[in-house]
């Protein structure tokens, strides 16, 4: 009777199975040695972060004289100033030199080259892998974050540094203590291993994680921000994390809203963006 459900000999070749294969073949053919290097995931994460902070910081510097950018800022009347950019950039550079660079060198020395599978993941496995790693990361950070706010010693020693800025801007994303940076780096590395993700899925999760973490702190409510794309308020994103920096006892989860709903710590700030029509009516 088990034969009834035995699908091992049935070839269910859905079209999505091969959607990522051409891109994966191309990457393997042209960049195999770089992709196999244990340094690659670190370089990918660091370069994504540097690119994003360069982009957002340019917007921050243009915003005061460019109303079309400034209207998307959460705190339109308070601008990002050079001393804050330098200060956050200094700690970011320090963290990269003292923690990330040695960790990368250690990986390069002791980790063997990563074997690359010939087959690409199916699109469904790829998307579910990125989503699964993000959901787990969200829970891990929620717990870590809540504990580091509720226990005074943990807050003062490890997390207070991140709260030096009430108004966030992209460079605040990694304005972190070494312990917080290590915890975040560990979950980003371990979660794809837990879910046995394909390396393409792992790298996509790393890039996505840097993207949404930076978006949380960017200070802009753009129409393409994740909380505007994900329905039912499931994604907290930039507005809720900005509210956390204003009211630190609320919104502990970095991305999704459900843990704060369940834990009674959710706070939904009103959208700061005033539609252009309303602004005209008010004569501004
Ligand atoms: Zn933050
Ligand atoms: Zn916090």
- Give 90-101 pLDDT, tens digit per residue: 999 999 999 888
Q: How confident is the model at residue 271 (pLDDT cuts 50, 70, 90)?
A: low
**Least trusted range by pLDDT, from 72-81, 155-164, 233-242, 271-280:** 271-280
Among candidate residues 19, 51, 54, 74, the one with its CA nearest the CA of residue 242: 74
pLDDT of residue 284: 36
**CA of 266: how far to CAs of 142, 169, 225, 246, in Å?**
12, 22, 19, 13
Q: Which ligand neighbours the alpha carbon of 240 most closely?
A: 1
**pLDDT above 90: percentage of residues in the chain:** 75
| Spatial contact of 104 and 42, defined as CB atoms under 8 Å apart | yes
Whole-angstrom distance, CA of residue 200 vs CA of residue 50:
21
Q: Which ligand neighbours the alpha carbon of 217 most closely?
A: 1
pLDDT of residue 204: 97
pLDDT of residue 273: 57
Rounding to the nearest 10 degrees, give the CA dihedral for residues 239, 49, 42, 206.
Answer: 40
Whole-angstrom distance, CA of residue 284 vs CA of residue 282:
6
* C-alpha 48 – ligand 2 centre gap (Å): 23
pLDDT at 141 > cutoff 80: yes
* C-alpha 245 – ligand 2 centre gap (Å): 7
CA angle 280, 169, 256 (to 5 degrees): 90
Q: How confident is the model at residue 177 (pLDDT cuts 50, 70, 90)?
A: very high
134-163: average pLDDT: 97
* C-alpha 275 – ligand 1 centre gap (Å): 27
pLDDT at 215 > cutoff 70: yes
pLDDT at 201 > cutoff 70: yes
Among candidate residues 253, 211, 213, 237, the one with its CA nearest the CA of residue 74: 237
117: left (phi over 0), alpha (psi -120 to 50) or beta: beta
pLDDT at 250 > cutoff 60: yes
pLDDT at 112 > cutoff 50: yes
pLDDT at 274 > cutoff 90: no
* C-alpha 37 – ligand 1 centre gap (Å): 31
* C-alpha 248 – ligand 2 centre gap (Å): 6
Among candidate residues 214, 213, 203, the one with its CA nearest the CA of residue 253: 213
Among candidate residues 82, 39, 41, the one with its CA nearest the CA of residue 61: 82
Question: What's the first-to-final CA gap in the chain, in angstroms?
Answer: 75
Q: What is the pLDDT of residues 1-24, one digit of tens each?
A: 444 444 444 444 445 557 999 999
- List 73's β-bridge partners, or say none: 220
Among candidate residues 213, 210, 203, the one with its CA nearest the CA of residue 40: 203
Contacts of range 82-90, beta carbons closer than 8 Å, 24 or more positions apart = 84/165, 84/169, 84/171, 85/57, 85/60, 85/169, 85/171, 88/165, 88/169, 88/171, 88/172, 88/175, 89/171
pTM given for the model: 0.87
Q: Which ligand neighbours the alpha carbon of 250 most closely?
A: 2
pLDDT of residue 3: 44
Beta strands in 192-244 (DSSP E): none
Q: So where are the chain's domains?
A: 37-113+128-281
pLDDT at 281 > cutoff 50: no
Output the six-digit token pair for 63. 């915003």
Average pLDDT, the chain: 88
Which DSSP symbol is given to 111?
A: S
Q: Give the position of tokens 């580091």.
A: 148
* C-alpha 143 – ligand 2 centre gap (Å): 11
């Amino acid at each position: 009777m088990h034969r009834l459900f035995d699908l091992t000999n049935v070839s269910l070749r859905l079209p999505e199975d091969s959607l990522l294969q051409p891109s994966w073949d191309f990457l393997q053919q042209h960049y195999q040695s770089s992709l196999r290097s244990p340094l690659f995931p670190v370089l990918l994460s660091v370069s994504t972060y540097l690119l994003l902070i360069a982009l957002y910081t340019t917007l921050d510097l243009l915003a005061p004289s460019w109303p079309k950018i400034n209207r998307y800022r959460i705190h339109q009347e308070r601008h990002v100033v050079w001393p804050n950019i330098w200060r956050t950039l200094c700690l970011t550079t320090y963290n990269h030199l003292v923690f990330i660079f040695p960790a990368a060198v250690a990986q390069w020395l002791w980790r063997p080259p990563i074997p690359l599978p010939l087959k690409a993941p199916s699109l469904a496995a790829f998307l579910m892998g990125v989503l699964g790693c993000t959901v787990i990361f969200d829970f891990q950070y929620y717990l870590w974050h809540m504990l580091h706010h509720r226990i005074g010693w943990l807050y003062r020693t490890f997390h207070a540094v991140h709260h030096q800025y009430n108004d966030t801007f992209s460079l605040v994303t990694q304005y972190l203590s070494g312990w917080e940076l290590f915890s975040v780096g560990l979950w980003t590395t371990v979660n794809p291993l837990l879910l046995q993700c394909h390396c393409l899925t792992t790298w996509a999760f790393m890039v996505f994680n840097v993207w949404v973490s930076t978006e949380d702190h960017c200070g802009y409510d753009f129409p393409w921000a994740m909380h505007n794309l994900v329905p039912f308020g499931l994604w907290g994103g930039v507005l809720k994390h900005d509210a956390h920096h204003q009211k630190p006892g609320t919104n502990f989860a970095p991305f999704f809203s459900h843990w704060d709903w369940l834990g009674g710590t959710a706070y939904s700030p009103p959208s700061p963006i005033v539609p252009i029509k309303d602004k005209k009516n008010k004569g501004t």
